[in-house]
Structure 1
Amino acid sequence: MQSTKKIGSKIAEARKKATISQAQLAGHLFISSQAVGKWERGESMPDIITLNRLAEILGVDLNYFSENFQSPAPEIIHGEPLVKQPAESGSYRIPSEKHPESKREEKLSWDMSRGNWVDADFSGLKNLHEKFSSSNMQRCKFIGSDLSGLLLKGNHVDSCDFSRSDISSSHIQRTLLNKNIFKDCLLKKAEFSRSQLNICDFSGANFTGTKFSESYLYGCDLTGVDFTGMVVKSGGFTGVVVKTGDLEKNTIVDAVWNRASFIDSQIADLVFTGTLDECYFENCAFTRVTFRNATLINTFFKNNKNLKRIRFIDCQADRMTFEFLKQGKADVKGITLVTPKGGNE
């Protein structure tokens, strides 16, 4: 593998050729511009998933960064499973009549984990969680499949269809989910940590008890989603649309909602700390909702019910948002107006 400084210089070269600033590149990757600067100076290096994303953003092949760069995953598999070999011999012993018990001991075990899967169809299959853990997937179908307890760590899942699948109690860590379909999926008690979810369709999905930690949703469709008991910590939601969804019994800590829309939604038993920037609430009902140490900027409230029941504690808002809330009969005593730079409102 080439040196960290060499890869860093190639990142800088490709970024400049694409006429993208460090800040813009950082925005695409949901990281800080300081992190990009460290890469380019050779002080640190992105992992394989981030390098894949960099190649996509900058319009270069992954090999551009290093001719000798190797993914920890095996070769791409087109619908063919890997056969797991016994540790002792490295191959399967043929069962004999003298040893009938060996038929049970030497039963084939299909192991598709740690693979790269492309254009495979596993719709309707059950108990797949162990078989696909830590796998990269592209344009695969898992419609109506049982993937509960799935572990993805540092993976790339792109353009796959998980409609009506059970992905509950799964752990998604440092993974990029891009343009996938999760319609009517069961995602109860799933945990997303340090992951990116880009332009995914989660309409009708059940996120009951799901946890998001340092994870980011961009441009996702959350129509009719059940968020009961969801926990969000240090996450980001950009351009997401929540329509006819239920956000109940949630804890949202240090999250950033940017250009998020909430339409015809029930929002109840929610404690929110974080930032809402250019968000939109229309025809929503609020019950036992508290904003604590939150900042609301350019956020629009239209035809909502029970705004007066929202508690604002040590919050900040710009003038426009403040007036929307006041006109909606919200109790704004716990909101301090944000003073724009220059000191003029």
Structure 2
Amino acid sequence: MMLNSKSIGNKIAEARKKTNLSQAELAQQVSISPQAVGKWERGESMPDIMTLNRLAEILAADLNYFSENFHRGAVDTMAYESVETEGQAYPADRDPKAENQTARSWDMSKGNWENADFSGLKNLGEQFSSSNIKNCKFTNSDLSGLILGKNNIELCDFSRSDLKGSRIQSSNLLKNQFDHCSFVDTDFSRSNIGKCNFSGADFTGARFDTGCFERNEMTNTVLKRTSFKNTEISDVIFEGRIEDCHFEGCGFYKVKFQGATILNTFFKYNRKFKKVEFSDCKVDRLTYAFLKNNEANLTGITLIEE
């Protein structure tokens, strides 16, 4: 079953009734209108991840409760004998003021997420691995250290998010917005990345190994100490400053370096490299030697005089 607005709505309604809260009472605690709660429960809209976390606290449920992998019997065994604290109902054995109540353990991996707003999310770790994620928002999020394995991510918006130090493995990334994201020291391995917008993204120290990279927008991207190894690169235009980068064992198809300044960059054992087009590019002597050795078409390349 898809973990969509209808699925989450049913779970909100189920937990709300078990805590003996009306829609109006729940709405008051979340600081929204009763009509909004009604829309959630009917599946007409869905709360964002921050609100889901707040609902989990109010309804005395782990955030995993909203995941499709949550065992439904678990909600029936929860202790709902409650005490009143500042107008909110809590399980009798729970201290609502305890600091660790805001850091609940949750895992949203192995799920199907669609049309959800996760903007501003932090500290995901491996909590979204092995998931299908479509048309979701992750804008302005701190996703540093994110680990994605066997994910399918399509039509999602990660604009202006921090993904530095992440590991993206055996995943498909298709038609996503990654503009102005940080991918500093991020590893992409055995992944297919296509038709994504990486405009203004920072790939300093990023590594691409054994995958496909095609039809991606690379306007004003930062490529410094970036490596592409055993990667099929197609329908991509590289521009701007490319420094201390590494291209080895890659296949090139309809690739163009346009208006680029390429410095101290390694090219070796790349396939179909004769067909790569260089237009108004400047390179240093070391890079020029690597390009020539890789049988590049040097038309459109100017050697920088030292």
- Same fold per superposition (TM over 0.5): yes
Correspondence 1:1-345 to 2 at 5 A: 86-87=23-24, 113-114=50-51, 115=53, 122=64, 125-126=67-68, 140-339=106-305, 345=306
1:259 aligned partner, one-letter code:
R
> Quick one: distance in 2 between partners of 1:139 and 1:295?
47
| C-alpha spacing 1:313/1:179, structure 2 compared with 1 (3 Å) | same
Deviations along 1:162-217, one digit per CA (max 9) or x if unpaired, are 11111222222111102121111111122221111021121111111122211110
Per-residue deviation, 1:298 = 1.4
How many equivalent pairs are there? Answer: 241
Q: CA 1:85–1:192 in 2, change beyond 3 Å: closer, same or farther?
A: farther
Give the conservation status (yes or no) of the 8 Å contact 1:139–1:160: no
Counterparts in 2 of 1:191 and 1:138: CA distance versus 1, 3 Å: farther
CA shift in 2, pair 1:91/1:151, >3 Å = closer
Query: 2:240 and 2:148 mapped to 1: Cα distance?
Result: 27
Structure 1 pair 184–333 and aligned structure 2 pair: CA distance change class (3 A): same
RMSD value, Cα: 3.5
Cα distance change of structure 1 residues 308 and 105 upon mapping to structure 2, 3 Å threshold? closer
Q: Distance in 1 between matches of 2:26 and 2:130?
A: 41
- In structure 2, distance between residues paired with 1:326 and 1:139: 55
CA contact (8 A) 1:314 1:334 kept: yes
Are the structure 2 counterparts of residues 252 and 89 from structure 1 closer, same or farther at C-alpha, using a change threshold of 3 Å? closer
- Aligned partners of 2:107, 2:230: CA distance in 1, in Å? 31
TM-score after normalising by structure 2? 0.68
Contact kept? 1:247, 1:267, Cα under 8 Å: yes
The 1:168/1:122 distance shift into structure 2, 3 A limit, reads same
Per-residue CA deviations over 1:20-68 (Å, capped at 9, x if unaligned) read xxxxxxxxxxxxxxxxxxxxxxxxxxxxxxxxxxxxxxxxxxxxxxxxx
Identity of aligned residues (%): 27
Q: Contact 1:124–1:143 at 8 Å: present in 2 too?
A: no
Secondary structure class of the residue paired with 1:153:
coil
Give the secondary structure class of the aligned counterpart of 1:330. Answer: coil
Task: Tell me the TM-score normalised to structure 1 length.
Answer: 0.61
Contact 1:295–1:315 (Cα < 8 Å) also in 2? yes
Q: In the superposition, relative to structure 1, how do residues 124 and 223 fare at CA in structure 2: closer, same or farther (>3 Å)?
A: farther
Find the residue that maps to 1:265 and give its secondary structure: strand
* Aligned-pair CA distance for 1:90: 5.4
Q: Secondary structure at the match of 2:288?
A: helix
1:123 CA drift (Å): 9.2
CA contact (8 A) 1:164 1:183 kept: yes
Partner Cα separation in structure 2 for residue 147 and residue 226 of structure 1: 20
Could you tell me which residue of structure 2 aligns to residue 97 of structure 1? none
Larger RCO (alpha carbons 8 Å, 6+ apart):
2
Gaps of 5+ in 1: 1-80, 93-103, 129-135, 340-344
**Which whole-Å deviations, capped at 9, do the CAs of 1:300-322 have from their partners, x for residues lacking one?**
11111111111111122222112
Structure 1 residues 155 and 125: alpha-carbon distance in aligned structure 2, compared to 1, 3 A threshold? closer
Q: Which moved more, 1:292-301 or 1:155-164?
A: 155-164
The alpha-carbon deviation at position 89 of structure 1 amounts to 8.8
Q: 1:88 deviation in Å?
A: 8.2
Residue 50 of structure 2 contacts residue 118 of structure 2 at CA under 8 Å; is this kept in 1?
Answer: no
Paired position in structure 1 for 2:98: none
Secondary structure of the 2:138 match is: strand
1:281-308 CA distance string (max 9 Å, x none): 1111101101111222211111111111
Residue aligning to 1:27: none
Which is further off, 265-274 or 139-148? Answer: 139-148
CA shift at 1:107, angstroms?
6.2
- Secondary structure in 2 aligned to 1:216? coil
Task: Say if 1:138 and 1:158, in contact at 8 Å, map to a contact too.
Answer: no
CA distance in structure 1 between the partners assigned to 2:39 and 2:283 by the alignment: 66
Answer whether contact 1:124 1:144 (CA < 8 A) is retained. no
Deviates more, 1:156-165 or 1:306-315: 156-165
Structure 2: runs of 5+ lacking an equivalent: 1-14, 30-37, 71-101
Structure 1 Cα separation of the partners of residues 222 and 167 of structure 2: 20
